[in-house]
Amino acid sequence: MSNEIAVTGATGQIGRRVAARLTESGAAPRLLVRGSSAAPALPGTQPVSIGAGYADTLAVRNALEGVGTLFLVSGRESANHVAEHRAVVDAAVAAGVRRVVYLSFLGATADCTFTFGRDHWHTEQYIRGSGLAFTFLRDGFYASMLPALVGPDGVLRGPGGDGRVSAVAPDDVADVAAAVLGDPAAHDGAVYDVTGPAALTLLDAVGELSRRVGRPIRYQPETLAEAYASRAVYGAPEFEVAGWVTSYQAIADGSLSAVSDTVPRVAGHPALTFAQYLDAHPDSYAHLR
């Protein structure tokens, strides 16, 4: 049986990091990308095109032939998000893949506040019924997203109330994923919440940013009506706007505040705090200076 690992999303912030860590450990992961020219240049890796993307079942199946374990990063949100994930799972089964490590989301349930989290739950259920061995990594809100939410005027706007979010550093998520992929059978059936070491408010987050950029960064709570109105100018589809707004609602109602010990327990080192993440990644808030 093959022990080869395939990594999807290899050009994204998690897949790219996971592929690099596997390579550093001596593995030679197969990198599934839409265009092989976009794959990171890592020694020993095999970039393989999956054509038009996750929905291209034949291309995905061909790309997975001979793979034992699939690291499945959620595709870009779309109106057919769950169907695309199901297509990848079907392709994996058809190709003879034995297990999938799926990057899900914290608090994924059928009716969770964050609408995209519901897609993750439905994907998890499909994987459970596929016959594949599985591990679910339910990562929290990325620490890298908090600076990105601040507008050019130095204001972070959203209906997050005074709720808390256990923001996690992408590097910590990648470390957990790489550790699981290093011995995937040992984690079969596990569902891991992958979070930062503490939950902070959005007011806490802008305070950390203010101290680093030399100007005030503010948090301005919005009502739901204000949140939908302020985002209507982007002309995004309704499902996408709902995902943006409900991510703040999930902060407000505590859905994203859970703190786990997965990073130290599985990756073997403490999880970065938001402040430590900013110290390590000044580029993440360079646009605010």
Residue type (1 letter), 182:
G
Please give the average per-residue pLDDT across 132-140, as a whole number.
98
d(CA 109, CA 248): 17
Domain tally, the chain: 1
CB atoms near residue 133 (< 10 Å): 17
Long-range contacts of 13-19 (CB under 8 A, 24+ apart): 13/142, 13/144, 13/170, 14/73, 14/103, 14/139, 14/170, 14/173, 14/174, 14/177, 15/71, 15/73, 16/40, 17/170, 17/171, 17/173, 17/174, 18/71, 18/174, 18/177, 18/178, 18/181, 19/45
- Say if residue 47's pLDDT is above 90: no
Please give the average per-residue pLDDT across 76-94, as a whole number.
90
Q: Is the dihedral of CA 102, 105, 109, 114 positive or negative?
A: negative
Q: DSSP states of 44-60 as a string?
A: T-EEEE-TT-TT-HHHH
Report pLDDT for 81.
85
- Dump pLDDT digits (tens) for 214-243: 999 999 999 999 999 999 988 999 999 999
d(CA 190, CA 136): 6
More confident: 59 or 43: 59
Going by C-alpha positions, the residue among 133, 59, 71 that lies closest to residue 102 is 71
- Say if residue 1's pLDDT is above 70: no
> Is the residue at 63 inside a domain?
yes
d(CA 244, CA 262): 26
> Is the residue at 255 inside a domain?
no
What distance separates the 2 farthest-apart alpha carbons in the chain?
Answer: 57
Going by C-alpha positions, the residue among 93, 243, 269 that lies closest to residue 178 is 269
Report pLDDT for 35.
65
> Is the residue at 260 inside a domain?
no
Report pLDDT for 42.
86
Residue type (1 letter), 57:
T
Report pLDDT for 76.
75
Pairing of strands 200-201, 164-165: antiparallel
Report pLDDT for 73.
96
Please give the average per-residue pLDDT across 35-62, as a whole number.
83
Per-residue pLDDT band at 112 (split at 50, 70, 90): very high
> Is the residue at 217 inside a domain?
no
> Is the residue at 41 inside a domain?
yes
Kindly state the DSSP code that residue 159 receives in the 8-state scheme.
S
Tell me the residue range of the domain where 174 lies. Answer: 5-139+170-193
Kindly state the DSSP code that residue 66 receives in the 8-state scheme.
T
Question: Which stretches within the chain are classed as H helix?
Answer: 13-24, 57-64, 81-95, 115-128, 145-148, 170-182, 202-213, 224-231, 238-252, 262, 274-280
- Dump pLDDT digits (tens) for 240-288: 999 999 999 999 999 999 999 999 999 999 999 999 999 999 999 999 9
> Is the residue at 237 inside a domain?
no
Pairing of strands 30-33, 46-49: parallel
> Phi, psi at residue 127, to the nearest 5°?
-65, -40
Tokens of residue 132, six digits: 């594949």
Residue type (1 letter), 101:
V
Report pLDDT for 17.
96
CB atoms near residue 227 (< 10 Å): 21
> Is the residue at 146 inside a domain?
no
pTM of the model: 0.96
The CATH number covering residue 76 comes to 3.40.50.720
* Mean pLDDT for the chain overall: 94
> Is the residue at 184 inside a domain?
yes
Report pLDDT for 194.
98
Beta bridge partners of 99: 69, 133
Please give the average per-residue pLDDT across 148-152, as a whole number.
95
Q: What is the percentage of the chain residues whose pLDDT exceeds 90?
A: 85
